[in-house]
Amino acid sequence: DTGVSQDPRHKITKRGQNVTFRCDPISEHNRLYWYRQTLGQGPEFLTYFQNEAQLEKSRLLSDRFSAERPKGSFSTLEIQRTEQGDSAMYLCASSLRGGRGEYEQYFGPGTRLTVT
């Protein structure tokens, strides 16, 4: 499978715990995005990486959230001291700058987080 993959697919955690999600983009895609989708809403942008550089963060990304993309390959999104309001689907997308299909973002299957 050469698509975007995310792990885990589902995560249930208790309030106050830390969680980490992983995204593996399509090979050679240099752009990587994280979005968050709550029930009944459209996805909202969280952060963007070009290669290993984090170039934009949404104001939705509080100090409890941190994202990395070491070596410009996979990315991780960590949420510290989770709150019930963090319950959502976390989506990762990747795209390639330049070449055919440069404008299309390919989405992974998402990680559904439930904070109890």
Partner 1 sequence: ELKVEQNPLFLSMQEGKNYTIYCNYSTTSDRLYWYRQDPGKSLESLFVLLSNGAVKQEGRLMASLDTKARLSTLHITAAVHDLSATYFCAVAVYGSSNTGKLIFGQGTTLQVKP
Binding residues vs partner 1 (CB under 8 A)? 31, 33, 35, 40-45, 48, 50, 55-56, 91, 93, 95, 103-110, 112
Straight-line distance from the first to the last Cα atom of the chain, in angstroms, rounded to the nearest whole number: 33
CB-based contacts of 20, cutoff 8 Å, min separation 6: 76, 77, 78, 79
* Cβ at position 16, least distance to partner 1 in Å: 27
> Please, which residue, 74 or 107, has the CB nearer to partner 1?
107
> Please, which residue, 75 or 95, has the CB nearer to partner 1?
95
* Cβ at position 80, least distance to partner 1 in Å: 24
* Cβ at position 82, least distance to partner 1 in Å: 21
SS3 24: strand
> Please, which residue, 55 or 78, has the CB nearer to partner 1?
55
SS3 71: helix
Cβ-in-10-Å burial (0-12, 13-18, 19+) of 69 comes to: buried
> Please, which residue, 18 or 38, has the CB nearer to partner 1?
38
* Cβ at position 65, least distance to partner 1 in Å: 16
Q: Which residues make beta-bridge pairs with 43? A: none
